[in-house]
Every structure is written in C-alpha cells, then in structure tokens.
Amino acid sequence: MKQTRNTQAKTEILKLINESNTALSHSDIQVKLGDLCNRVTIYRVLERLEEEGKIHKIVNVDGVINFARCEGCSGGKHDHNHLHFYCEKCKSVTCIENVVPKIKIPQNFVVKQYNFVISGQCDKCTI
C-alpha cells in the first residue's frame, strides 16, 4: 500500500473542498490558495486525494472538471454515484446526494462509475 503524505498544500486543499457547499475547479482552488503552491502541485494533490477516496471528480457540461468531498469512499473505491447540478448563471456545481438515478445497462456491461450533470439555475440564482 502506498504511504500518503500530509503536506500543507494537501491539508489546505482538502480543507477548502470539505468546507465548500459546491464543487471547486482547479482554478477556484488556485485562487483561494494564493501563493501557497503552484498549479502542478494542486493537480498532483487533487489526483492523490481522489485516489485516497477523499474527493471525487465531476465533469460539468462545459468540460470543466470540479472536485467535491466524498462521503464514505475509501482507497479510490468511489461508491457515491449521484446527480450533480450545474448552474448556468453562476457556474456552480452542486452534489445532489439524495437523488440517485436508476439506469439499466445491457447484460455483460460493467459500470465502474457514472457522471450525471443536470444544468439550469440554482436556488440562489432563481431568486
């Protein structure tokens, strides 16, 4: 098993993601961290956190990858397939944990993960 390192960058990135109500993009994280670390370090830390089952990736409708905290995942085994909502107005991505779509896959197909993104306007933008 690969040993995990807890660097200041890793600690701060995980804290940002865990405290956010919406998923964060790499650029969101880079802006919030300021000069703490460079963009390559952020990519490496995000990859490591995903492998450890602490965060998951969401590819939104415009192709931007966002990251959100995992609930109950470990060691790269992600078992939280759920909906994600992309707000077309404020560009936020929110995990919708309490809605899990039912899908039927043809026989002999093996699903490892899926990414459902619904787009529209979030509750903050429709007011």
Binding site, annotated residues for Zn(2+): 87, 90, 122, 125
Greatest Cα pair distance in the chain = 50
∠51-16-8 over CA atoms, to 5°?
70
Structure tokens at 124: 């903050």
Torsion of CA 117, 25, 41, 10, to 10 degrees: -80
Q: Which amino acid is at 69?
A: R
Residue 105, C-beta contacts closer than 8 angstroms, at least 6 positions apart: 111
Which residues are part of a known binding site? 87, 90, 122, 125
CA atoms within 13 A on the CB side of 47: 6
